[in-house]
Amino acid sequence: MNAAALSARYRTAFVTGASTGLGLAFTEMLLGNGVEVWGTSRDLKRLPQRDKFHAVALDLGNGEEAERAFLAADQAAAGFDLVINNAGFGAFGSFAHTDFSLWEEQFRVMLVNTARLSSLALRGMLSRRRGALVNISSIAGEFGMPYQATYNAIKAGLSALNESLMYELTETGVVVLDFRPGDYRTDFEGSVRRPTQDSALAADPIHSNRMARAWKAFVGMMESGPPPAHAAESLRRALLRGRSGTVRTGRFFQARLGPFLARFGSLALRRRIQEKYFGL
């Protein structure tokens, strides 16, 4: 289908985390298809300067401020036909040996306040009886990565939220997409927070070595993934279908073979595969 097909369905879009990675790829895809985009970042200087693009300062660390920023943008756009909740951050460390304030922040930013924006977006869409909400979860919600426990839990939580909303919004004219990307070459690993671990971990060479092997595997996985434009094209096709559902995208194992194993394989088999892959 040509570019006009997407913009005919989605006139305006709101994209969080639009300055880099998948968020930037989604933004460029939408702009290239004639959709007017309001894109967010904590730092406006990092956002692109393009026709039909509106930069929005938004920090998901503060739910009330994020809500005000969204509502102001929604008013300026006369309502969003498409909202993509993509913003977030990675953190790598031992769950037990990292100060819990980091995990709490990650939950607040990526789950609590993403759900908050989802609620706001849906109110407007339901009043107009049209629109699409896309929450970017992850294949990590199905295949958890070691030393990224809260990231995995958050992504699984977003998938559960999306699944529930699909039932609630049947026959309303509003679409919900649970978009589950695998690893993409976005330099996500370069921005992952690696907090100082407490002294108990430093004194345990076995645990430290396992953690180092897991990090090496994670970086290699990210660096060898497809380009972000691949994920944007997967999203474009899903949006054109115009129906709620789950979209898995990425390399063949993550998008095809992994889900097959998740459905038909045992939990023990899945754990053995993960342990072997991450050198555990």
All residues at 6 or more sequence positions from 185 whose CB lies less than 8 Å from its CB, including other chains: 222, 223, 224, 225, 226, 227, 228
Name the burial class of residue 191, with classes exposed (0-12), middle (13-18) and buried (19+) by CB atoms within 10 angstroms of its CB.
exposed
Catalytic residue among 10, 151, 167, 277: 151
All residues at 6 or more sequence positions from 245 whose CB lies less than 8 Å from its CB, including other chains: 166, 177, 178, 238
- Is 184 annotated as catalytic? no
Q: How far apart are CA 95 and CA 89, in angstroms?
A: 16
DSSP string, 23-83: HHHHHHHHHHTT-EEEEEESSGGGS---TTEEEEE--TTSHHHHHHHHHHHHHHTTS-SEE
Closest CA to 140 of 97, 101, 185, 90: 90
Residues noted as catalytic = 151
